[in-house]
Homo-oligomer: A and B are copies of this chain.
Amino acid sequence: MGKLLIVGTVAFDAIETPFGKTDKILGGAATFIGLAASQFNVRSAIVSVVGEDFPQEYLDLLSSKNIDISALQIIKGGKTFFWSGKYGNDLNTRDTLATELNVLADFVPIVPDNFKDADVVMLGNLHPNTQMSVINQMRERPKLIVLDTMNFWMDNALEELREVIGQVDIITINDEEARQLSNEYSLVNAAEKIQQMGPKFVVIKKGEHGALLFHGSQVFFAPALPLREVFDPTGAGDTFAGGLTGYLAESRNISFNNLKNAVIQGSNLASFCVEKFGTERMKDLEKKEINNRLLQFRELTQFDIELQ
Contact = CB atoms under 8 A, between A and B. Distances in A.
Interface of A: 89-90, 185-189, 206, 209-210, 212, 218-221, 223, 226-230, 257, 260-261, 264-265, 287, 291, 294-295, 298-305, 307-308
The secondary-structure label for the interface of chain A is: mixed
Nearest to A302: B302
A124 B55 CA distance: 60
Nearest to A191: B226
How many identical subunits does the complex contain?
2
When A and B form their complex, which 3 residue pairs have the shortest distance between CB atoms, in order from nearest? A209-B209, A260-B303, A221-B223
A301 B301 CA distance: 6
A153 B305 CA distance: 35
A226 B188 contact: yes
A258 to B, nearest CB: 9
A265 B305 contact: yes
Contact of A188 (B227, B260, B291): B227
B218 A303 contact: no
Contacts of A307: 291, 294-295
